Amino acid sequence: MANHPSAEKRNRQRVVRTERNRAAKSALRSTLKKARAAVSAGDAAKAKSGVGVAEKALAKAASKGVIHPRTAARTTSRIAKALAKSAKSQA
């Protein structure tokens, strides 16, 4: 338990930050799930827009410190690669 006012404040800040990050991470996971589902379904237009939204969400999460920048880059690369592969197989 925090014994000093500054430690109590840091604890309050931690709780707020944790909740914010949890919500942002959950929303990010949902966005990625929708994008992956659109890519695997084969609907080219829906997949392209879904991947664009997912890439934007990843960049935003990385800039806010919710996820590591390299994690965002790796996930962006993988989802873009999957989109290109599905577009190539449909052509």
Q: How many angstroms separate the CA atoms of 58 and 25, rounded?
A: 10
- CATH number for position 47: 1.20.58.110
Q: How confident is the model at residue 1 (pLDDT cuts 50, 70, 90)?
A: confident
- pLDDT given at position 45: 87
Amino acid at 10: R
10-14 average pLDDT score: 96
How far, in Å, CA of 19 to CA of 42, rounded? Answer: 35
DSSP the chain: ---SHHHHHHHHHHHHHHHHHHHHHHHHHHHHHHHHHHHHHT-HHHHHHHHHHHHHHHHHHHHTTSS-HHHHHHHHHHHHHHHHHHHHHH-
Residue-averaged pLDDT of the chain? 94
What is the C-alpha separation between 34 and 7, in angstroms, rounded? 41
Residue 10 structural domain: 5-90
Percent of the chain with pLDDT over 70: 99
CB 41 within 8 A of CB 83: no
What is the count of structural domains for the chain? Answer: 1
Q: How do residues 25-63 score in pLDDT, each as one tens digit?
A: 999 999 999 999 999 988 888 999 999 999 999 999 999
pTM for the whole structure: 0.85
